[in-house]
Amino acid sequence: MSAPARLALFTATLALVFAASALAGSAFGPEPKTDDPRPEHAGGGAEHDAPTHEVRGLASAADGLRLVIETPELRRGRTETLAFRIVDEHARTTSDFDVGHTKRMHLIVARRDLTGFQHLHPEQRADGVWETPIQIRDAGSYRVFADFARDGEPHTLASDLRVDGAADLRALPAPATTAASDGGYDVELRSAGPRPGEEAGLRFTITNDGEPVATEPYLGAGGHLVALREGDLAFLHVHPTNEAGSSEVGFGATFPTAGRYRLFLQFQHDGAVQTVAFTQEVR
């Protein structure tokens, strides 16, 4: 056979081999990609499928606003003035706030071990700075939450406050269904085993000397509840589910993760605001 003929036969054989390989690949190889492929991580694990729920109060700045505390250090046991501002991205002091729960600004103060809770309503000066008198009995590091709304959007910004002296930190109390308020009222908590990411009903029944207590309106409702997560003190949004005038105060709360939370309930009776705290475990 001549050289040109041998070359032609070799070329034809190679063509047959490649054709057979392509046919086998189409029969046994992977499916071709679609025109709209999903990212590799989409739906690929439980951590991506878990629902996410907003928590606030983890940062001093968010959504173009920042909390600036002008008096970040206080003296223990003395009545002093706590002053702070809310500034925008250009460091300009903001003065425009919505009314929420009958107030334009709610200030929550709690020590890092979730003791020393205070709920204050500061007054705003003409220059936009907020001020409130405050007395803190115990030394330590405290978290300050500015809870407010602007243009219909809720915001909770937080920063740290230091109180001089050696701190005697305490362990978080174990969960219990009953507790006494700072004014001696007995309160019972009923909750149907809250689960992460699902709204849970929290119902508090209030009695005094064994008799039911009809709560008076406080901040536009039968009571006010603040929930803080153990560890990072994430601030949870809760909403009341009934009006004042009953011995039972109800709230809806969505706990974003498993863990323990400290619940601070406030209600009003005979013109005085009562505060009581519970530990709630979420599994």
Instruction: Give the pLDDT score at 237.
Output: 81
- Kindly list the structural domains of the chain, giving each domain's residue range(s) and its CATH number in brackets, ordered by start: 61-163 (2.60.40.10), 178-282 (2.60.40.10)
pLDDT in tens, 127-147: 999 999 999 999 999 999 999
pLDDT in tens, 34-45: 333 333 323 333
pTM for the model stands at 0.81
Instruction: Give the pLDDT score at 10.
Output: 42
pLDDT in tens, 71-88: 999 999 999 999 999 999
Beta strand residue intervals within 103-257, DSSP E: 106-111, 118-120, 123-124, 130-135, 140-150, 153-163, 178-180, 186-191, 199-208, 211-212, 224-229, 235-236, 238-240, 248-254
